[in-house]
């Protein structure tokens, strides 16, 4: 485990979120109209980028027309307000349209910009999928710099979602439990994960998920780190836990396979040199770091 | 800190959530029709209870008519399926209608039943406020034992929310930072808290919230415990952190007051013997336990 992994993606967004500005509609309009803002453009789920030499960068966009109703104030950085908007048809024709997963995998975009894109993608996708009031069915309107939608008919307020996920590196006598979902790339195994449900603690959700999917009971569930995962708006809560025993009952409707991997196998998977081509998730994913952290506990 | 506090409320719900049963509509119908289920009744936000001698209990309800469309399968316990439903007008006339906060404060209901009520309340309130598809505005229909709503018009699926909240016991040289919101009971001070936003780690959200509300920078943010808080569906993520310094800039639009409390003052507030009548939150709230845990670090 001596090789240092790159940091997980999306965890850095060095912007002052400026929550107090969000509710100041007049400030938002003036700020936008001044043109002295940084604008992050999307076309649906894709970020709009430009390429120069060997690096990628956010497009240097200038606000056009009025403040779009679903534009989001991400915050302030370097003395400028940072907005994000879905430009769709108004996107520059020469812009690259890029998916955030592949951007994170490539590592050609600054980590801070990747963090901004993550917040932007979650919020813009939330607006795209929440144009109507869930309480009464009327069209709702974005407010507060894109951090709230309000229904003019029933006055209900709706806020962006974050969906908390428990992801667990399960250990038993130095081995790690890893699993494959059917849609994973060939040979890739990862830590098990599932959404935390209403009425559950983080630890209870971890215990339920791992028992449902692998038939394994946990003890000593311990928090390690977290990561926003903007597909569309998960909050990955990274845990390490010990298995009570190593008997597996794999739920084949959820998992293609689940098994215990020795420390040496895990190290080979993380280093990309497993003799059978098995792979760990890339360092952009918290699962990669949880595997390293779980193994490092025994160093 | 020697006095043992009661456990926080809502953290125990010893039911097998039986996620695999949820999607089996025929099993759900047969199970309900058999009458051999445990049914937890609500009337809107209020749980339906019965009182005998000095204890409270869930009503012994019998399923009537067909499976209500918004009934929720909470899981299986003691060989029986456990459902929750809003009975509204069909609620027994002699049922007590009780709010979960006061139930948790009283401690006359079994902790396990309180945990079931928490999950039930979050889910039933989610149905009550999400009868329409946020994507297209059409009426949506409950599916999967109440764990999903599907839109017949646009086919969008919608899942129950959990809203992750960072709640932080901030320390500086043995003192704790506590604050009052205007709606708190007289004299009560608590740990600062705020919703985790899309694109944030747990730690970044804690840092942002404490800086926004109190002007304090954090270091060494550490996870401690979590608690579901069903008003309507928060997941409280309890943290302890150290303040870089003790200068406060309190946001008076959010907080009535915020200040540093010595270890002795905190102990007096937790024990209910503060000379000026100041109080800590009750043990039902994770904030009470975070205060104890933060002080116990220095024992």
How far is the alpha carbon of A189 from chain B, nearest alpha carbon, in Å? 23
In the predicted model, what is the mean pLDDT of residues B268-273? 97
- What pLDDT is recorded for position B39? 94
Q: For residues B251 and B256, what is the distance between their CA atoms, to the nearest angstrom? A: 8
- Return mean pLDDT, chain A: 94
Task: Judge whether A137 and A222 are in contact, CB under 8 Å.
Answer: no
pLDDT at A43 > cutoff 70:
yes
What is the spatial distance between Cα A295 and Cα A264, in angstroms, rounded to a whole number? 10
Chain A closest CA to B295's CA: distance in Å? 20
Q: Dihedral through CA B84, CA B86, CA B90, CA B95, nearest 10?
A: 70
Q: Are strands B46-52 and B37-43 parallel, antiparallel or unpaired?
A: antiparallel
What is the spatial distance between Cα B16 and Cα A66, in angstroms, rounded to a whole number? 53
Query: How close, in Å, is residue A66 to chain B by CA atoms?
Result: 25
| Min Cα separation B222/chain A (Å) | 9
String of DSSP letters for B219-282: EEEEEEEEEEETTTTEEEEEEEEEES-------TTT-SEEEEE-HHHHHHHHHT--TT--BPPP
Contacts B212 to A, Cβ<8 Å: 19-20
The ipTM estimated for the assembled molecules is 0.96
Chain A residues near residue B75 by CB distance under 8 angstroms = none
> Cα(B256)–Cα(A291) distance, rounded to whole angstroms?
44
Mean pLDDT of chain B: 94
pLDDT at A265: 97
Q: Using pLDDT thresholds of 50, 70 and 90, give the confidence band for residue A153.
A: very high
Short-list B66, B85, B275, B292, CA closest to B187: B275
Task: State pLDDT tens for residues A50-89.
Answer: 998 888 999 988 887 788 888 999 999 988 999 999 998 8
- The whole-number pLDDT of residue A2 equals 41
**pLDDT score of B66:** 85
> Is pLDDT at A17 greater than 60 in this prediction?
yes
**In this complex, do A11 and B132 lie within 8 Å of one another by their Cβ atoms?**
no
With 0.90 as the threshold, say if the pTM is over it: yes
Q: Which two tokens stand for residue B50?
A: 């019965």
pLDDT tens string A172-183: 999 999 999 999
Q: Do A130 and B134 touch (CB under 8 A)?
A: yes
Cα nearest neighbour of A254 on chain B: B20
Share of chain A above pLDDT 70, in %: 98
Taking residue A85's Cβ as centre, other Cβ atoms within 10 Å add up to 25
* Interface contact flag, A132 B136, Cβ < 8 Å: yes
Which chain B residues contact residue A120 at CB under 8 A?
Answer: 199
pLDDT of B275 above 60 = yes
| Inter-residue contact A58 to A96 (CB < 8 Å) | no
A-B contacts at Cβ under 8 angstroms:
158
Looking at A229-238, B60-69, B118-127, which range is the least confident one?
B60-69
Domains of chain A are 19-129 (3.90.79), 163-296 (3.90.79.10)
Please name the helix (run of DSSP H) or strand (run of DSSP E) that holds residue A29, with its range, or none.
helix A25-34
**Cβ-Cβ contacts under 8 Å, A225 against chain B:** 201
Predicted local confidence at residue A4, as pLDDT: 58
Rounded Cα distance, B38 and A124, in Å: 42
Least confident of B51-55, B124-128, B212-216, B270-274: B51-55
Q: Mean pLDDT: which of A2-11, A145-154, B71-80 is highest?
A: A145-154
- Supply the pLDDT for residue A61: 87
Contact A195, A229 (CB under 8 A): no
Each residue of A84-108: pLDDT tens digit? 999 988 888 889 999 999 999 998 9
pLDDT in tens, B220-250: 999 999 999 999 999 999 999 999 999 999 9
For residues A66 and A108, the answer to whether their CB atoms sit within 8 Å is no
The answer to whether the CB atoms of A131 and B126 lie below 8 A apart is no
Mutate to test the interface with A, among B24, B115, B166, B201 (most CBs of A within 10 A): B201
Look at A161 and B134 and tell me if their CB atoms are within 8 Å.
no
- Reported as a single tens digit per residue, the pLDDT across A199-220 is 999 999 999 999 999 999 999 9
Q: Which residues of B touch A220 (CB under 8 A)?
A: none
Residue A146 CB: number of other CB atoms within 10 A? 26
How far is the C-alpha of A248 from the C-alpha of B227, rounded, in Å? Answer: 29
What b/e readout covers B217-249, taking b as 16+ CB neighbours within 10 angstroms? ebeebbbbbbbbbbebbbbbbbbbbebeeeebe
Degrees to nearest 5, angle at CA B129 with B125 and B132: 135
Element (H, E) at B158: strand B157-158
Mean pLDDT of A9-27: 90
Q: In this complex, do B137 and A139 lie within 8 Å of one another by their Cβ atoms?
A: yes
Cα dihedral A43, A44, A49, A54 in deg (nearest 10) = -140
Q: Which of A118, A165, A198 to mutate to test the interface with B (most CBs of B within 10 A)?
A: A198
Q: How far is A273 from chain B (nearest CA, A)?
A: 31
pLDDT band at B7 (very low <50, low <70, confident <90, very high): confident
Which of these ranges, A154-163, B106-115, B230-239, has the smallest mean pLDDT?
A: B106-115
Res A1 pLDDT > 60: no
Check residue B225 and give its pLDDT: 97
Flag if A228 and B159 touch (Cβ within 8 Å).
no
B-chain CB neighbours of A251 within 8 Å are: 20
Coil vs helix vs strand at B166: strand
Quick check: A253 and B19 in contact, CB under 8 A? no
Please check the confidence at residue B53 and state whether its pLDDT lies above 90: no
SS3 A186: coil
Q: What is the pLDDT of residue B1?
A: 43
Q: Distance from B176 to chain A by nearest Cα, in Å?
A: 23
Phi, psi of A146 (to 5 degrees): 90, 10
A109-118, A232-241, B65-74, B244-253: range with lowest mean pLDDT: B65-74
For position B4, what pLDDT does the model report? 58
In chain A, the DSSP E strands lie at 37-43, 46-52, 55-58, 72-77, 80-86, 96-98, 141-143, 148-150, 157-158, 163-172, 175-180, 192-195, 218-229, 234-243, 257-261
Strand order in the sheet with A157-158: A141-143, A148-150, A157-158
Cis peptide before B274 (omega within 30 of 0): no
């Amino acid at each position: 485990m001596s090789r240092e992994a790159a940091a997980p993606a999306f965890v850095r967004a060095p912007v002052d979120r400026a929550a107090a500005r969000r509710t100041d509609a007049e400030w938002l309009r003036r700020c936008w109209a001044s043109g002295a803002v940084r604008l992050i453009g999307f076309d649906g789920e894709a970020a709009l980028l430009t390429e120069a030499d060997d690096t990628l960068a956010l497009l240097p966009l200038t606000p056009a027309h009025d403040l779009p109703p679903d534009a989001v104030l991400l915050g302030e950085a370097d003395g400028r307000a940072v907005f994000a908007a879905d430009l769709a048809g108004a996107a520059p024709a020469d812009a690259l349209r890029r998916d955030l997963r592949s951007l994170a995998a490539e590592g050609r975009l600054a980590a801070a910009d990747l963090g901004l894109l993550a917040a932007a993608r979650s919020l813009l996708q939330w607006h795209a999928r929440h144009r109507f009031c869930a309480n009464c069915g009327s069209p709702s309107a974005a407010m507060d710099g894109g951090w709230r939608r309000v229904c003019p008919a029933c006055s209900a307020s709706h806020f962006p979602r974050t969906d908390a996920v428990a992801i667990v590196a399960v250990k038993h006598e130095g081995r790690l439990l890893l699993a494959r979902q059917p849609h994973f790339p060939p040979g890739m195994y990862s830590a098990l994960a599932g959404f935390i449900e209403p009425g559950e603690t983080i630890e209870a959700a971890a215990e339920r998920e791992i028992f449902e999917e692998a038939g394994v009971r946990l003890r000593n569930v311990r928090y390690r780190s977290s990561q926003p995962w903007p597909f569309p708006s998960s909050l990955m809560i990274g845990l390490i836990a010990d298995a009570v025993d190593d008997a597996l009952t794999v739920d084949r409707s959820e998992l293609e396979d689940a098994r215990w991997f020795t420390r040496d196998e895990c190290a080979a998977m993380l280093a990309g040199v497993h003799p059978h081509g098995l792979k760990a998730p890339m360092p952009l994913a918290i699962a990669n770091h949880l595997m390293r952290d779980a193994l490092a506990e025994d160093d």
